[in-house]
Chain A
Amino acid sequence: MLTDLQLSRLRWRCRRGFLENDIVLTRLLDRRGAGFSDIEHEQLLTLIALDDNDLWDIIAGRKNDFPANTSEMVSTLRDTLSTH
């Protein structure tokens, strides 16, 4: 579980320059709230440190060379994208 502060910080860093990323990341945060494990949190932080275009290519499944040890969160984001 994330603390309120961790969640708040995460929510802000999921504000992107790119609407597609905004939508998917917000959808994920709205669904999961603070319910991320430490590992998931770490993986998400690693992914959102990427540039918007690279992040979107990974989420949309166009690119599979994502950072090491983030595969679970990549799957989660792809599921989030495809489930409305």
Chain B
Amino acid sequence: MAMAIHKYDAVVIGAGGAGMRCSLQLARAGLRVAVLSKVFPTRSHTVAAQGGIGASLGNMDEDNWHYHFYDTVKGSDWLGDQDAIEFMCREAPKVVYDLEHMGMPFDRNPDGTIYQRPFGGHSAKYGEKPVPRACAAADRTGHAMLHTLYQQNVKSNTTFFVEWMALDLIRDSEGDVVGVTALEMETGDVSIFHAKCVLLATGGAGRIFAASTNAFINTGDGLGMAARAGIPLEDMEFWQFHPTGVHNAGVLLTEGCRGEGAILRNKSGERFMERYAPKLKDLAPRDFISRCMDQEIKEGRGCGPNADYIELDLTHLGGETIMKRLPSVHEIGKNFANVDVIKQPIPVVPTIHYQMGGVPTNIHGQVVVPKNGNPNTVVNGLYAIGEVSCVSVHGANRLGTNSLLDLLVFGRAAGNHLVETALGSKSHKPLPANAADYTMSRLAVIDGSSSGEYPQDVANDLRKAMQLHAGVFRTQKSMDEGVAKVIAIDERAKSLSLKDKSKVFNTARIEALEVGNLMEAAKATMVSAAARHESRGAHTVDDYGDTAENPLGRNDREWMKHTLWFSEGNRLDYKPVNLKPLTVDSIPPVKRTF
């Protein structure tokens, strides 16, 4: 039977905030848009975002985009591209008002303006004082955003393909992207989506780590597709951690615990943060505490039978305070750690939260690669937006509330760019004769395997290795060992076995395909991390500490550059950071202190 071919102007892979913001822009312009999603759109991981959208509306106090720009550049530890950061911060109020006009139920001030809450790292007057900049819908901002965007997309005739998994990009002989192959879970059949452009909006790959706040769907599918198509992944060594994820669950305990006086203790019951941060103790910054916790565990002072977690002690706060101020922590303790936090400490570990790197793009969302001496040559027909992409606005560390902002700004920008460049009047480039051959050969290996390991066993070993070697506390030796280990696991992943060989809704088959994507994201992370011989933002390496020449271990002279990892041969390349904003003066690098 001939393979089905679906023809659209644009195909968006992923129905989270970025994908649906982009598809809406395209559908409203009358383009034929397909959105492919592994799960129902409103169950994308954007739904988990609580905090808010950063935008300098100035509704609570004096604010403007210049201050937001400064905070974001500083937060990125000068690895963010300042043109992209300026673009994002200037566009921020527009995308918030757009959502407001679509019916997003933002929290309000008594005068009817959008209420804005304070968030760490956001300041006015270039770091002088905190400013409330986060626009939120209670603690359900992501949920409200997804619903708003989904309804608008339905109204605008976007076509959704739900429970479809995109597999491989189709590139023609000139390297242009002309479509994508995808698997319909209900039938197990593969189809071709022939398109004038493909947009990756698949989110991050947080499930490459054992301790992750990410939902199970976050398997880095867009990263895998890009890597297999010869496109590099940028700055994948930078991952944001949260210090207090519940051990063996990943569920987050709010930072409010430590604000209320909770104490981190090692196996001896020692309040170890007193040693690392005598003044701030348990209230030291998030990334610093995470590294101290990991160091305690690595040096054998972890708690529990495997000495692999730290205990967060709230018992001295008393039941009344806990139930009044931290009821959700009590609930999480009971449900995910089997612990009554009024009576016992709760096991926690530093937990992966957000991927700063991804598929390299420009401010229009166009994917860019090095070619003929130009590090940012556009790949025709391919865009990436949201967490899967690296514009790069987050650089080495993301500022809170900038993730939802990133989705909206660049989802909209990519849509606008396609409309402005008259996508509708262009014709489809022909599909190559072998358009689906690569995909079918990958599936044939999985379907035909009679021996080998189960996908989940390999994935679990990968997660353990990543946690150990690319976790929050990094040493050069451990990262080098991690590279060898991940490459060995990659070999195992090439011969996965399935118990069930059926095609119809075979979840094991889908998981095997996801493992392939996890592997690409993990190799990119591990290899890029081991090669970066400095400390910067979330990539802090014990070997590269604070010196007069390299304050806090950051070596701008040699390492102020973006990493580009290529799957073929595990090869690395680099490209310069863009320190030149679009219209304003550059923020020159200084030592990052708070």
| Residues in B whose Cβ lies below 8 Å from that of A13 | 39
| Residues in A whose Cβ lies below 8 Å from that of B251 | 19-20, 23
* Complex: A17 Cα to B234 Cα, angstroms: 25
CB-contacts of A1-49 with B (<8 A): 4-5, 8-9, 11-13, 15-20, 22-24, 26
A69: interface (CB < 8 Å) = no
* Complex: A23 Cα to B215 Cα, angstroms: 9
Which of A5, A15, A24 is most buried by chain B, counting CB atoms within 10 A of its CB? A15
B500: interface (CB < 8 Å) = yes
Q: Nearest CB to that of B334 among chain A residues? A: A82
| Residues in A whose Cβ lies below 8 Å from that of B250 | 19, 23
- CB-contact partner of A82 in B46, B213, B335, under 8 A: B335
Q: Nearest CB to that of B351 among chain A residues? A: A19
| Residues in B whose Cβ lies below 8 Å from that of A24 | 335
* Complex: A9 Cα to B35 Cα, angstroms: 21
Q: Nearest CB to that of A60 among chain B residues? A: B331
> Is there an interface contact between B505 and A17, defined as CB atoms closer than 8 Å?
no
B541: interface (CB < 8 Å) = no
B38: interface (CB < 8 Å) = yes
| Residues in B whose Cβ lies below 8 Å from that of A8 | 500, 505-507
* Complex: A22 Cα to B216 Cα, angstroms: 7
Q: What 0/1 pattern do residues 214 to 237 of B give for CB contact below 8 A with A? A: 111100000000000000000000
A71: interface (CB < 8 Å) = no
> Is there an interface contact between B507 and A11, defined as CB atoms closer than 8 Å?
yes
Q: What 0/1 pattern do residues 70 to 84 of A give for CB contact below 8 A with B? A: 000000000001101
- CB-contact partner of A12 in B140, B331, B502, B510, under 8 A: B510
| Residues in B whose Cβ lies below 8 Å from that of A12 | 163, 185, 505, 507, 510
Interface size on B, residues (CB 8 A): 35
B443: interface (CB < 8 Å) = no
Interface size class of A (residues with CB under 8 A): 20 to 34
* Complex: A51 Cα to B336 Cα, angstroms: 21
> Is there an interface contact between B249 and A51, defined as CB atoms closer than 8 Å?
no
> Is there an interface contact between A22 and B215, defined as CB atoms closer than 8 Å?
yes
> Is there an interface contact between B215 and A16, defined as CB atoms closer than 8 Å?
yes
- CB-contact partner of A18 in B163, B215, B505, B506, under 8 A: B215
- CB-contact partner of A19 in B48, B185, B331, B502, under 8 A: B48
CB-contacts of A46-76 with B (<8 A): 51-53, 60
B43: interface (CB < 8 Å) = yes
B283: interface (CB < 8 Å) = no
- CB-contact partner of B504 in A5, A20, A51, under 8 A: A5
7 pairs, A vs B, C-beta closer than 8 Å: A15-B216, A17-B43, A19-B213, A23-B250, A52-B143, A53-B47, A81-B335
- B residues sitting closer than 8 Å to A (CB atoms) are 38-39, 42-48, 140, 143, 147, 163, 185, 212-217, 249-251, 331, 334-336, 338, 500, 502, 504-507, 510
